[in-house]
Each structure stands twice: as C-alpha cells, then as structure tokens.
Structure 1
Amino acid sequence: MTSTGPRESSTFYQAADGSELPLLLFEPGDGAQPRAGIIVFHGGALREGSADGLAAHCRKLASAGIFAVSAGYRLLGRGASSIGDCVADVRRAVEQFGRLAASRGLDAPQLASGGSSAGGHLALVAAMAAPDGPAATPEPGVAAVAAFNPAGLDLGSMDPDARRRLEDRVGLAPGRLTDYSLIELVRPGNLPVLIHHGTRDGIEPIDQVRRFRDAMERAGNACTLYEYEDAEHGFHYPGEDTAHFDAVMDATVRFLLDQLAVD
C-alpha cells in the first residue's frame, strides 16, 4: 500500500423515507485517480453502529488507490421498522455511491459493496436479491461484494423457535426470515464475493459460512473465504494487535484491484 494519506469528506444521501443519512468519503491523496471503488455498511445487529465504525478500513483502502465510502442506514427503533427498511436504504446508498463514483471516473464494473456483520449481510442481500422478488433480475449497481464476518448466511438452519424470535426482532412476519437468508439467494450469475471470517465466531458460526461458500461454488459463482484461526466476531477491527486488521485489509485491496481495477 502507498503511504499517501487519503482525502476525507462527507455528504448525505436520501433514505427510502426521505431522511438524510451520512456518507463518509475517503479518496486517494494528491488528487490521484482511484482505480476502483467500494461502499461499506457498518455492523451493530441493525440496532447500533454508525458510518464512523468502518472509517479505519476506508482509510486503508483509500491509501491503496480505492475510492471508499462508509454509509449509514436507518436502524431498527430509530427510523426503520424492519430489516426491509434497512435494505431499502442500502440500495439508495449504493445508487448515490454510483453517482459519486461516476464523477470520479469509475463505472459500475469498477465498484463493489460490502460491510461488517449486519452491514455485510445487508450489502449481500441488496446485491443478490431483486427488490421486486425472486423472479426479477437483480441490478446491484456493483460488480463484487467484500464482507467482514457477515451475518445471515444460512438463517434457515436455525430452529423454528429461534427463527420466530429473530423475525420478531427484525420486524418480519412469520415465515419471512428465509427471504433474507443468503444461501437461499444463491443463483448462477451471482457477483463475486469475498468473505473474511473467524473460526471462533459465536455470532455466525464458520460452518454456515462454509456452506454458503460451497453453495456459491456449486452454482458456478466465485466466492473467496479467508478463515482466521481462533478469531472471534469483530476480529477485523484495528486495536492493540493490528495483525488481523492489516491482513484483512491487504487481502481486500488485492481482491478489489484484481476484480475491478481500471487498467
């Protein structure tokens, strides 16, 4: 990665309910032309977190020549009545990101989405599922997805009581949870996906991530899974030990530039 510091700014996009939500922009320093772009969404179980949560990740990406944007979205109990509202905001944010990227010389084939935990799940749902239902063709506005310990990969594997409790928590009618189970959205032609996940993740067990990866590969899709031995949920954030953070970000840069970079 280069040592040039990124340029930082902020703007807003209009959420599905008309409110304004933040977009934090991180761009390569010295006015350099970005080689690819990504918009990321924070974690927090759809009830907590903010765009600031992935600022460190975006700075790393921008320092490597990538236009990186961290977006907020309405949270449950704070503007969103269901996970569907969160996904609707993510779609709006991706649309605005596409316009911002175009003004910087990047088109959809050079763009990705992604995020951490619940945010990674939202990005994947938006990229894999069409707003009008399974019979429609998704128009994600991006060409790849990079997720850090995403949630919701195989919701159908939960026992019925746990599924119903989760449906209550995320504002869904009975039987609707599997509409947001990523493994149920796997189809031939899904976008390439990168996943970073710890083998001791207690929120989203690694076995579920592996099942999703295997389903993607059986459908003929590219899905790269990096496993981090004994790492728990949220292992990818910077802290006193930055080894995981650096490894995650270096691999993410390689993935984005390999998949998307302008020649």
Structure 2
Amino acid sequence: MLSDLLAGAVADAEARRVTRSFDVVQAAALIRAPAIDALSVLAPAPRVKIIAEVKRASPSRGTLAEISDPAALAVSYEFGGASAISVLTEGRKFLGSLSDLEQVRSAVQIPVLRKDFIGLPYQVFEARAAGADMVLLIVAALDQATLVSLHDLVRELGMTALVETHSADEVDRALDIGASLVGVNARDLTTFELDQDLFGRLAGRIPSGVVRVAESAVKTAADVAHYRAAGADVVLVGEALVTNDPIRTLTEFLAV
C-alpha cells in the first residue's frame, strides 16, 4: 500500500511539473514569507498539543467528510485550540489537493503541515510555494540517502519536517538525520493495521530534546490521554475531528 501511495503521489507531481516547471515552483517557494517556526509552537508543554487534520478520506475508511470549505474547517480548529493544522494533499486515496493547503494557509495563523507521500524535491518546493510550514517525510517510504536530502531541503527552505516512523529502526534512522520532530504512526502503512501501544514502546528511544508526535488511532479523549501518558508532546488527530463537532472534540481532547 505505501509503495503504491508513494508511486501515485510522485507520478501526480511529475504530471503537475509538465504544466508548472521546477523553476517556476522553486521561484514561488523562495518568495514566500518565512515559514512559521513549528518547533517552537509544538515544543513540550504542561498540556498536550494537537495537530488537527483536514482529511476527506483514507484508503482504510473510504470517504469520511465532504469538507467543501477547508479554510472554514481550519479556522474552527484554530479557534478550538489546535496548535497546528495538517492538510492531506494526496488526491487519489485521500481526495486532497494543494489548493486545500493554500486555502488553509490563507485562513489561519498557526503552522500548516503538508501531509502527503513525498519523494521528490519538487514536492518540497510545492509545499513551501503553497505556504506550508511543515512537510511530512515517511521513513518507510524513503531510502536513507533520499531521506537525508529531502530533510536537508525542508530545513534549507525554513520549514520543519515531521519525520514519521513505525519501528525502532525507523526511529533510529530519523534521529540519525537530526530530526527534531518525530512522529510514531500507530497505523502500519504497508498493511494499514493499527497498534495504539506502538508509540509507548518507541517513545523511550526518542530523546527529550526531540518533539514526540503520536499519530493515528485517536477516537476519544481517552486515546489522547493514553498517548500523553506514554510521553507524547503532540497528538495528530484527523478522523475524530472531521466526523464530529471539531470545536467540542478539540475541547475534550485538550482537557486530558
């Protein structure tokens, strides 16, 4: 599944490059206002922080929400206390787009993450050109040399990489490249199976100077509390917010 998602995202990026050249996207990225310092915003604090996700669909659950106005949803997230917004820009399975990201960026004052299957420098420049402050890099999808080069590019453009892991080896690979924001995804992207206890087993490998993000398998405030007790500084939440009242749900989640 992960290989197919990455291949599709890269193919779609190559198709966009035909009509919007690398040079054009690079130039657009370089003239953007500086990215928001996401690390400062997401730094460990006495209370858990939430990255709230704009997510229409997923391969495992199909369509979740129509989300005709991603900017309005993002505004409600910000009002509800989210520290950052994640925007799915993958179009084939998640029904997202870079336009969604651009709309969200124009509507909120908090950091915005481009969540996609990134394998090309072109996609990183696209993210910055669209206003992203953060870019997702999935360790399982990339060889180490590509992971290093993309992570370096994200930093050169003033953004922060959320480096996603799913095993002890992947956490070590993330730390080896100097990742400052490390996510542990409870969902195995090769099988789409969930293991909510995975974060707790891996959190101890992530040093205190690195922001720890728990991803997936969040339906209730008890799930957020579970991750917080295991050492999560930040919890990324998507489905629970788009399928319920976002402000009420955020209020419940942030109260743990």
- The TM-score by the shorter chain falls in which range? 0.3 to 0.5
Higher helix share: 2
| TM-score in terms of structure 1 length | 0.38
| TM-score in terms of structure 2 length | 0.39
